[in-house]
Amino acid sequence: MNRNDLAPSGNPLDDARLFLQSTGIDGWLTRDYRYTNPVFEAALGQRVKHLTRPVWLWIPSNGEPQLLAHEVDAGRFPGGTPDISVYGNRGQMISELKSLIDDATRVAMEYSPLYELPRVGRVDAGTIELIRSLVPDIVSSGDVIQYSTERWTPDQLQSHLFAVEALDRIVKQTFKFVGENIRWALTEHDIAEHIRGKLDRAGLEFADGPVVAFDKNSSDPHHDPQPGEAAVIRREGWLLIDLWGRKKSESPDDQNISADITWTAKLGGRPSSRHQEVFNAVTSARDAAFELLEARVLGGDNPQGWELDRIARQVIENAGFGQYFVHRLGHSLGYEVHSNGVNLDDWETHDTRTVINGVGVTIEPGIYLPEFGIRSEIDVYLGEDGPEITGDRQTEIVRIETD
C-alpha cells in the first residue's frame, strides 16, 4: 500500500491509524492543557469548549481511539467523539494512561528532538518524562500530524481556490487604487485598511495583516503599518503587498483553507536596474524550487522540505544576494495560514518531513536590501496530477503610473 496515493478520508482519526499501521508506530498520544496544543483539536476533528484540565487522546494503530479527561470536563464532549475514560486526581490520571497505552513500545507525541521543528514541539519536557516512564520509545508525531490533519479534502481545495482567486484580484485592484489616489497622500495603513475592507466584502476572514510596505519598509518581511507611524505612499518608490485570508466559515465545522500571496510594484518611473536584478533573482529562485518539486513528485520521489529551500537559496546566493535572504523559503498552508505540515526550510530549521501529496505550501523567496525588499509568494497544492500553482504567478514588476 502506498499512503501517498490515498486521498484523505476526511476523518483525521482514521487517517492517523492508517499512517501508524504503515510505519510500525504503536500509537499516537496527543495531549492538551488549556488550548496550548492545537494539534489535539486537529486530531480530534472538532473544538470542545471550556476544557480546564489536561486531556489526552490515544490513537492506537490497531483499535479504537480513546479520550482521557478530568471528571469536571468529561461531560463537555459532544456525541460522536471517542469513548472517554475519566480521572479525578493525578494518581488516577497516570493509572488510566498506563491502561490506555497498555503494551505499546513506540508512541508518537508532539515532540521534536532538540526542538528542531517548533511547530511540532508542543508538549513540555515534563510530559515527555512522564510518558517515558510508561513506554520505552517516544518518537516525533510530525509526520502523522501532516498525514492525518494537513492534507486537503476536495471541499477544502475548492475553499482555497476561492480564497486565492479573491486575493489575486484584490492585490491588482489595490495597485490600481494606489495609482488613482496617489494625490491624497495615502499611507501604508490607509492601503492596509482598504485591503481589509475588500477582503471582508469578498467573503474572506483574516486574523491579522496585510503587509503594506513602501520603499525601505519593504526590507522588513513582516512590516505592520500602524496609524500615525505608517509611511506616506509617494509618487516615486517601491511597494510590497503581502495579503492572506480564508473563505468565511458557514458552520462551526468548516475547515476552509487559507491563501497567502505577495506581489511587488514600482511607482512612477521605470524600475531601476537594481530593482530588476533583485526581482529576477527572487523569481528565478521561486521557479527553481517549484520546478524541483514538480520533477521529484512526478518522478515518484517527493522531496523533503529542506531540499526545496536549499535549491532556492543556492539561486539567490549565486546571484550575490545570499546574505539578504533571511527567512525560510515557505510554510505549510492549511486552515491556519501558517499550518502544521512541512515547511520549506533549511535555514531556520532543517525540515526533513516529506512534501506529501495532498498538502499545500507557499514558495516565497525574498531579498531584503537596506533600501528596498522584494518577495514573490505563490501557493502550491500537490494534487493527483502533481503540484500546481493555484493562483497567479508574478512574472514582471507591476508598474503604477502616478502622473
104 and 201 part of one domain: no
Give residue 1's pLDDT. 39
139 and 155 part of one domain: no
| High-pLDDT (> 70) share of the chain, % | 99
164 and 133 part of one domain: no
| DSSP character string of 10-59 | S-HHHHHHHHHHHHT--EEEEEESTT--HHHHHHHTS--S---S-EEEEE
Residue 2 has pLDDT above 70, yes or no: no
* Residue 3's pLDDT band (cuts 50, 70, 90): low
**Other CB atoms within 10 A of residue 68 CB:** 23
Give residue 8's pLDDT. 85
Residue 361 has pLDDT above 70, yes or no: yes
Give residue 252's pLDDT. 77
133 and 224 part of one domain: no
pLDDT tens column, 88-107: 999 999 999 999 998 999 99
Residue 80 has pLDDT above 90, yes or no: no
202 and 244 part of one domain: yes
- Residue where one domain finishes, among candidates 94, 124, 149: 149
The pLDDT of 18-40, averaged and rounded, is 96
Residue 186 has pLDDT above 60, yes or no: yes
Best CA proximity match to 382, nearest among 358, 361, 353, 362: 358
Measure the CA–CA gap between 217 and 204, rounded to whole angstroms. Answer: 26
Q: What is the dihedral of CA 312, 313, 319, 323, to 10 degrees?
A: 150
Give residue 4's pLDDT. 54
Measure the CA–CA gap between 24 and 12, rounded to whole angstroms. Answer: 18
Instruction: Check if the beta carbon of residue 67 is closer than 8 Å to that of residue 55.
Output: yes
When the pLDDT of each residue in the chain is averaged and rounded to a whole number, the result is 96
The pLDDT of 24-36, averaged and rounded, is 97
255 and 118 part of one domain: no
- Residue where one domain finishes, among candidates 98, 130, 149: 149
Adjacent-strand bridge partners of 87? 70
Adjacent-strand bridge partners of 260? 244
Measure the CA–CA gap between 292 and 275, rounded to whole angstroms. Answer: 26
Per DSSP (E only), the strands in 78-207 are: 83-87, 106-109, 137-140, 204-205
Which pTM was predicted? Answer: 0.95
Residue 179 has pLDDT above 90, yes or no: yes
User: What's the total number of domains in the chain?
Assistant: 2
Give residue 254's pLDDT. 84
Give residue 5's pLDDT. 56
Residue 222 has pLDDT above 60, yes or no: yes
Measure the CA–CA gap between 340 and 42, rounded to whole angstroms. Answer: 10
- Residue where one domain finishes, among candidates 125, 149, 173: 149
The pLDDT of 218-238, averaged and rounded, is 96
Grid coordinates of 196? 481589509
DSSP conformation class of 354: B
183 and 326 part of one domain: yes
The pLDDT of 300-309, averaged and rounded, is 98
Burial pattern 334-371, b for ≥16 Cβ within 10 A else e, equals bbbbebbbbbbbbbebebbbbbbbbbbbbbbbbbbbee
Tell me the residue range of the domain where 25 lies.
3-149
Cβ neighbors of 225 (< 8 A, separation 6 or more) are 187, 188, 189, 191, 192, 212, 213, 217, 231
Q: Which of 223-227, 252-256, 260-264 shows the lowest per-residue confidence on average (mean pLDDT)?
A: 252-256
Residue 289 has pLDDT above 60, yes or no: yes
45 and 117 part of one domain: yes
Q: What is the CATH number of the domain that holds 253?
A: 3.90.230.10
120 and 204 part of one domain: no
Q: State which amino acid sits at residue 217.
A: N
Grid coordinates of 320? 550575490
Give residue 9's pLDDT. 81
